[in-house]
Amino acid sequence: MVQHEQVFMERPFPSVTLCPEVKFVEEKIDAFLDEIQYPPNMNASSTRDIINQLAAFYSLDVVYDLGDLLRLEELLEYNGLNVETAAERLTATCEETLIKCRWENALLNCSDIFQMELTGDGFCCIFNGRSLRREMEDRSKIKHTDRHWYTSEFGFDSGLTIAVNQSQKLSSVDLSYKWIALQTSQHFVDTTMNGTALNPGAEQWISYSSTGFQIAMGAKALSPSLRRCNMSTNVLRYFPHYSKNYCLLEKEIASTLNKCGCVRTSHPRPPGASRCRAPMLLCATQAMISYITIDECPLTCDVEVITVAASSFTLDPTIRTVEPFYDGLNFKKVTVVRVFIQERKRKTKIRWSYFGFFDLFSQLGGMFSICFGCSVLTLLELLQIGWRVAVIWFQQLLEKRQVHRPK
């Protein structure tokens, strides 16, 4: 293992995923129930009692009743809606979730840099990320070019600063909190992620650093079974490059299609596949792939391992702030988040193979030295000497026979 450091004048900024509560906004529920039409066996009052279970189609944390989901499906079909469209209308938008956004000391419109996407964890606001689910659905439309965000400034006073609205009512510990996650630049948000919970009345600094892992040319020449990892340049069936998490998601999609004949609402949908309806949600949950039993998805050989460190500070409304970013914020109902790259330097580790094609003979020589007390080179020299002795002896024998041959 060889380690060296690289100094960057400019680095790609990480992907930021901000997920609101897995709970619909009360005002949006009222507006939705007033707009839709009801079949004969349903009304606004009964629908309001079960409407929050709609999130069970894309979130495993929501407890649901199958009969209630069947009624919700009937209601949506009656109004020509699908689960994703209805749930997005009921969920807080990025404009409602984010009060202020600042990039490199310049205030920007949050809706210009964040986009709402249905991820592996539900509806989330995405900065500098990609959605394979959306790209597969929009493939026939105008190609969307994602904006790549780079930064030349490092440290806590740089990067992205956001003010998150925390005025929601806390009704469930599991569903009524916002959280944030960081991944590498242009990360596909279709996979599930681990993040940091955002507490109201606090400021959180989240630093991002990474360590690069590469393998030498000798290791690249080995077969995947010997090196026990896949190159990131390997193209998967749906994802344009290899990652263990992307591979596991594709295995999960294939398993769900095979066992249930459909894919989950949050999954990228392969051509010709259908979304799982309410009766198949249990089947789709049971078809999910365990991260422990999968052997077909090894680690990535050349990967950027990220390190995220979070620090939290209490926002005191009695203390006057210096930065104008804090002006007009209610410190009791907001969370200020600073996301920044820690430093210009990045450590890179190069992994060498134990042996390759070029030093195979030296390895064999060492083996012979251990087994027979001499190296392969010594054996070759002894064989050459023996060959020359045999040739000379044979030539002398032929000469003697010619001398004693009768004339």
pLDDT in tens, 76-101: 999 999 999 999 999 999 999 999 99
Domain boundary among 56, 91, 126: 91
For the segment 331-353, what is each residue's pLDDT rounded down to a tens digit?
999 999 999 998 877 777 776 65
- In this structure, which amino acid lies at residue 326? Y
For the segment 230-276, what is each residue's pLDDT rounded down to a tens digit?
888 888 999 999 999 999 999 999 999 999 999 999 999 999 899 99
Q: What pLDDT does residue 257 have? A: 94
Q: What pLDDT does residue 344 have? A: 77
Cα–chain center distance at 98: 23
Q: Are 160 and 13 in contact (CB under 8 A)?
A: yes
Average pLDDT, the chain: 84
Q: Are 32 and 61 in contact (CB under 8 A)?
A: no
Establish if 241 belongs to a structural domain. Answer: no
For the segment 126-136, what is each residue's pLDDT rounded down to a tens digit?
999 999 999 98
Q: What pLDDT does residue 323 have? A: 86
Q: What pLDDT does residue 142 have? A: 39
Q: Coil, helix or strand for 323?
A: coil
310 phi/psi in degrees, rounded to 5: -115, 135
Q: Which domain, by its residues, includes 43? A: 23-91
Domain boundary among 68, 91, 114: 91
**Residue 86 and residue 165 in one domain:** no
Most confident option among 1-10, 346-355, 387-396: 387-396
pLDDT band, residue 405 (cuts 50/70/90): low
Q: How many residues does the chain have?
A: 407
Residue predicted with more confidence, 396 or 115: 115
Q: What pLDDT does residue 56 have? A: 93
**Residue 79 and residue 152 in one domain:** no
Average pLDDT over residues 7-16: 84
**Residue 66 and residue 111 in one domain:** no
Q: Strand 98-103 and strand 160-165: pairing? A: antiparallel
Establish if 85 belongs to a structural domain. Answer: yes
Domain boundary among 54, 73, 91: 91
Q: Are 285 and 259 in contact (CB under 8 A)?
A: no
Q: What pLDDT does residue 156 have? A: 83
**Residue 36 and residue 182 in one domain:** no
**Residue 190 and residue 324 in one domain:** yes
Structure pTM?
0.78
Q: How far apart are CA 150 and CA 8, in angstroms?
A: 11
Q: What pLDDT does residue 319 have? A: 80
Number of domains making up the chain: 3
Establish if 251 belongs to a structural domain. Answer: no
Q: What pLDDT does residue 140 have? A: 46
Q: Coil, helix or strand for 307?
A: strand
For the segment 163-206, what is each residue's pLDDT rounded down to a tens digit?
999 987 766 555 568 999 999 999 999 998 888 999 999 999 99
**Residue 320 and residue 226 in one domain:** yes
Q: Are 170 and 99 in contact (CB under 8 A)?
A: no
Q: How far apart are CA 382 and CA 21, in angstroms?
A: 78
Establish if 259 belongs to a structural domain. Answer: no
Establish if 247 belongs to a structural domain. Answer: no
Candidates 106, 92, 112; CA nearest to 164 is 92
Establish if 69 belongs to a structural domain. Answer: yes
Q: What pLDDT does residue 171 have? A: 62
Establish if 46 belongs to a structural domain. Answer: yes
**Residue 132 and residue 213 in one domain:** yes
The CATH number of whichever domain residue 180 belongs to comes to 2.60.470.10
**Residue 224 and residue 373 in one domain:** no
Q: Are 179 and 193 in contact (CB under 8 A)?
A: no
Establish if 309 belongs to a structural domain. Answer: yes
**Residue 178 and residue 227 in one domain:** yes
Most confident option among 28-32, 154-158, 298-302: 28-32
Residue predicted with more confidence, 102 or 142: 102
SS3 sequence, 74-100? Answer: HHHHHCCCCHHHHHHHHCCCHHHHEEE
Lowest mean pLDDT segment, chosen from 3-7, 299-303, 375-379: 3-7
Task: Tell me: pLDDT of 144 over 50.
Answer: no
**Residue 124 and residue 137 in one domain:** yes
**Residue 135 and residue 189 in one domain:** yes
**Residue 210 and residue 306 in one domain:** yes
Q: What pLDDT does residue 379 have? A: 74
Candidates 348, 14, 339, 335; CA nearest to 155 is 339
